[in-house]
Structure 1
Amino acid sequence: MKKSHPIRRVMLATAATVSGIVLLLSLKPASDPASASAAGGAAPQQTAAAQESAQGGAAAAQSGTVTGDVVKTQYGPVQVRLTMSGGKISKAEAVQAPSGGTSSQKTELAVPRLNQEAVAAGSADIDAVSGATYTSDGYKQSLQSALDKAKATGGGASSASPSPTGGGSSTQAKTVTGSVVKTQYGPVQVRVTVSGGKISKAEAVQAPSGGTSSQKTELAVPRLNQEAVAAGSADIDTVSGATYTSDGYKQSLQSALDKAGG
């Protein structure tokens, strides 16, 4: 037998070592654990971001104004309008409330307190104001109906903003409240609903009350409301015997129309 040459043995040993290294490398995992961990951690971050975006969108949708049903009481109708922000009541106001004689005094006493309680409670579970039970009960009923409407629409409500497309802005109804005008006998403030560029409804949110002022208000305001709708502007006649109320009404009406873009 021939003896193996020393150099040949070295070459064979080297080749075997290289083969072993190649085999070990071929068994290495296809992906780096650190990379896999990073990839696995990205998904929760994206999910959290998506949830946060969805929550933000829901809160944005739960904003706007909504008006409750008119509730008839023994002393007059009561109607409540709410401003919702992020699904919560940010403002409450009585669009209609009993007026005339002692009713006006009770309304002036009760409504501001009921408005504050509605915002604080965030619900219709509020206390009745002593001495104004009928007004309080009517307020709570209208408040509950407004909350039901807000809930049915996801917390949102009718918006005074024009349509993004611009095509429906001319027919979209919007409600605007004019500035408070102080008169010799009390403040006057008018709210109008504008639809299709015309006044579809006008109402006095505030008007002089107490003594003869209540009688004059009851006489003048309904006529001024009708004239405002008929004229479609603040160019309306003064009601005889209620000059100060009429002048204050027209000034507040004009400011409301200015805000509405009319």
Structure 2
Amino acid sequence: MKKSHPIRRVVLATAATVSGIVLLLSLKPASDPASASAAGGAAPQQSAAAQESPQGGASNAQSGSVTGDVVKTQYGPVQVCITMNGGKITKAEAVQAPSGGTSDQKTELAVPRLNRAAVAAQSADIDAVSGATYTSGGYKQSLQSALDKAKSAGGGAASAPSSPAGGGAAAQARTVTGEVAKTQYGPVQVRITVNGGKITKSEAVQAPSGGRSSEVTNDAVPKLDQEAVAAGSADIDAVSGATYTSGGYKESLQSALDKAGG
């Protein structure tokens, strides 16, 4: 009977040890799932924030050429074309301006200054050039209309790249204005719209006017516009009775094509 007491003690000690281990194991997982769930909850929140930040930083960039409305002044029409990149004016030019007599001198003096002022100010809030009040006023008005057009078209321009199909062709469309071609009866300047390497639209933004010239221009220019689109080049026939206008048109058209890389 005396020998049984040590065995009982061993059994009791072993049972106590096992109970202690089981108790420790049962307490340990209680903290682990809590910490794991906390870590798991934090990670998705951070990834969601990371996904939202690029969207919040996106901007509706406006790019391309936009031509303002023709503004009639006391000395002749004024029309401004601007080039936008990322919502900013990178270039401004008068595609129409008063010409003939002293108007030529005033235009040559005022327009380059107004062009630079438009790019510097990034708005139509620019000072008039001394001695060219009417031209400056027409310039500012046409510039503002161009800016308004660019602003209203900004949403469409921004959504175009996201289109999976057909977006590439739309992105290639652009407007290019040729150099002014001086003729015996007045300046001629052509602006074209090119899409996918083809001329989709052609128009004379400057053409001889006044007296008989207005009649000739009204008859010839629409025909030349159609011919340019149909031919896809400056290799078009002159309109009968409008030889000088036709020659100037073809010259300016070719320069526009050269700029467009066509």
TM-score (norm 2): 0.69
Q: Which residue of structure 2 aligns with residue 11 of structure 1?
A: 14
Match of 2:203 in 1: 201
Tell me the distance in 2 between the aligned counterparts of 1:155 and 1:89.
17
| 1:190 corresponds to | 190
Alignment identity in percent? 57
Map residues 1-262 of structure 1 onto 2, 5 A cutoff: 5-30=8-33, 31-32=35-36, 36-52=41-57, 54-55=58-59, 58-59=60-61, 62-154=62-154, 165=166, 175-178=175-178, 190-192=190-192, 200-204=202-206, 222=217, 225-226=221-222, 228-229=224-225, 231-232=227-228, 234=234, 235-237=236-238, 247=247, 249-256=249-256
3-state DSSP of counterpart to 1:118: helix
Counterpart CA distance in 1 for 2:129 and 2:147 is 20
Alpha-carbon spacing, 1:114–1:148, altered in 2? closer, same or farther (3 Å) = same
* Secondary structure at the counterpart of residue 124 of structure 1: coil
8 A contact 1:65–1:81 mirrored in 2? yes
Report the residue type matching 2:31 in the other structure. Answer: K
Aligned to 2:125, the other structure's residue is in SS state coil
Q: Give the 3 Å change call, closer, same or farther, for CA 179–128 of structure 1 in structure 2.
A: closer
Asked if 1 retains the 8 angstrom alpha-carbon contact of 2:69 and 2:146, the reply is yes
Q: Determine if contact 1:177/1:256 at 8 Å carries over to the other structure.
A: yes
Q: Is the 8 A contact 1:192 1:256 kept in 2?
A: yes
**Runs of 5+ in structure 2 lacking a partner?**
158-162
**What letter is aligned with 2:128?**
A
Aligned CA distance change for structure 1 residues 241 and 67 (closer, same or farther; 3 Å): closer
Contact 1:191 1:204 in 2 (8 A): no
Tell whether the 8 Å contact from 2:95 to 2:189 is kept in structure 1 after alignment.
no
**1:160 maps to which residue?**
none
Q: How far apart are the structure 2 equivalents of 1:82 and 1:103?
A: 23
Q: Calculate the TM-score normalised by the size of structure 1.
A: 0.69
Q: State whether residues 118 and 126 of structure 2, in contact with CA within 8 Å, keep that contact through their aligned partners in structure 1.
A: yes
- 8 Å Cα contact 1:65/1:84 also seen in 2: yes
Return the alpha-carbon distance in structure 1 between the equivalents of residues 67 and 127 of structure 2.
21
Greater share of helix residues, 1 or 2? 2
Q: Aligned AA for 2:12? A: R
Superposed CA deviations along residues 22-47 of structure 1, whole A, max 9, x for unmatched, are: 22123124143555544443232222
One-letter amino acid matched to 1:202: A
Residue 194 of structure 1 contacts residue 201 of structure 1 at CA under 8 Å; is this kept in 2? no
Q: Deviations over 1:59-118 (max 9, x none)?
A: 2xx112222222111111111121111111111111211111111111111111101100
**Counterpart residue identity of residue 87, structure 1:** G
Cα 1:239–1:71, aligned 2, differ >3 Å: closer, same or farther?
Answer: same
Q: How far does residue 253 in structure 1 lie from its aligned partner after superposition?
A: 2.2
